Amino acid sequence: MSGMQGGPVVILGMMASGKSTVGSRLAHRLGRRMLDSDEQIEAATGRKAREIEASEGLGAVHALETAMLEAGVRAPRPAVVTAAASVVDDPKTADLIQSAFVVWLRIRPETILARMAGDPDNRHRPSLGAGSDAETLTQLQKLDQRRAPSYASCANLVLDVDALDPDDAVESILSVCGLPELVVGAGAIVGEGPVWDPGSSVLWWVDITGRRIHRFDPATGEDEFWDTPREPTALALRRAGGLVVTTPQGIEAFHPDRAPKDRLELLIPIEADRSANRANDAKCDRRGRFWVGTLAYDFAADQGRVYRVDSTGDVTTVIEKATLSNGLAWTDDDTTFYFADSVAGQVAAYDFDLETGALDHRRVVIPRDGAPFNPDGLTIDQEGCLWVAHFADGPGSVCGVPGGVTRFAPDGQELASIRMPVSYATSACFGGADLRDLYITTGRIDVPQADLVHEPHAGGLFRWRARVAGSVLHAFDG
């Protein structure tokens, strides 16, 4: 596994191949925007393609189709783009789509003719310049012979769709393309804190600003949520049963069966004397100690800290200065602790003593190095590599770093990166029976309304299938 994954998906096909239907259903599954060349042409010109063809000729339509393909491939966030067969006649198409996952919906000319017969308004038939069905079939066969080599040369996946149901086509594409799939279109403002519960086979996660705790059940696809009176920022399973949640007040017990105003019960205050601060990310080590990072609401420099909360409730400061405390993880051998500071743009490693919970020998393993990098939540796999969720430089159309999840070796070498169809990827957690399902939370806070059109499912929960398993998250022993 290497390189960038998660670019645009381009679906090519002859007329009547069903590419628009397949494209729209695929876009929904991937949580992406769907861009159809015919719809784009009408939106840009105010005229249907057939009207342009009638007044300006087929060449004008072909030029617009190529321009629409280019706009879709270069959209601010990865989209699903469907393009007419004619785009392969443009010499620059191959270069244009080289960063995309290209699907060719191959269809026999005889099937096209049969589908056209059932669609009297089909815009393509007049442009074929044929009268009888036999003449039309001949023209379709010539087009197929001319364009098939171009399709074959650029396609990553070829599907014969003469008798293939659109939903089956989508499943075939998903099984091969290796892209993150939307599992909950929650529209969370700041999705965060995913925790896999192996006992119940469910994923817990939060919407900080939306003040909600979610539970996603992969077996049913259902996502249940509970409103809370304060911002939940991170979760941990409790060895005694149930959940604990960090909030601006500290560590609280979660009571889902109570009324919303009573669902949180303060157990251990954190920074009760610092009203300008709140807790942020938090995780437990193997001994069941809860490590809680804090930040200032205004992100003032060095005002955050990291605390170790023992099973007795004792609170110890382990990192004195942080700005935006975020992802935490430990290696499986319990010798190294990782910590991300989003504002500093760094992930630091520390020597870790499991018995005492002490940290030593801080070093930066994933530095900014003059390039923008905005690490958020993170997790670790069984090979000791870090998976760091990171948000984009900004929600606009030009971003040096897109939102995504990047896998790093212990020495900080970048191994792979998953580009997300949203600006803000916030955290990641491994789950599933084999711990190979990577769940990714996202957010939509601060994304302008004009940019949300490019990321319609910002704030959704995504899942990506990894080849390597993750590590189990530990429970709180307090």
421 and 392 in contact (C-beta within 8 Å)?
A: no
Token duo for residue 33? 């925007």
CB-count burial class (<10 Å; 0-12, 13-18, 19+) for 319? buried
Q: Of 222, 182, 189, 221, whose CA–CA distance to 207 is shortest?
A: 189
* Alpha carbon distance, N-terminus to C-terminus of the chain: 39
Strand partners, 243: 237
**C-alpha distances in Å from residue 451, one per residue of 33, 90, 184:** 11, 30, 20
What residues contact 58, with CB distance under 8 A and at least 6 apart? 127
Strand 212-217: give its sheet, edge to edge: 191-197, 202-207, 212-217, 222-227
Q: What amino acid is encoded at 150 in this protein?
A: S
Helix 58-73 vs helix 37-45: angle between axes, to the nearest 10 degrees?
A: 100
What Rg, from alpha-carbon coordinates, does the chain have? 26
Active site residue 376: yes
* Eight-state DSSP code of residue 335: -
46 Rama class: left (phi>0) / alpha (psi -120 to 50) / beta: left
| CA separation for the pair 234, 470 (Å, rounded) | 19
| CA separation for the pair 256, 369 (Å, rounded) | 44
Q: Of 381, 372, 309, whose CA–CA distance to 344 is shortest?
A: 372
| CA separation for the pair 337, 351 (Å, rounded) | 6
Token duo for residue 469? 């398993």
- From the list 376, 381, 437, 451, the catalytic residue is 376
| CA separation for the pair 98, 15 (Å, rounded) | 23
Q: How many residues are present in the chain? A: 478
Known catalytic residues? Answer: 376
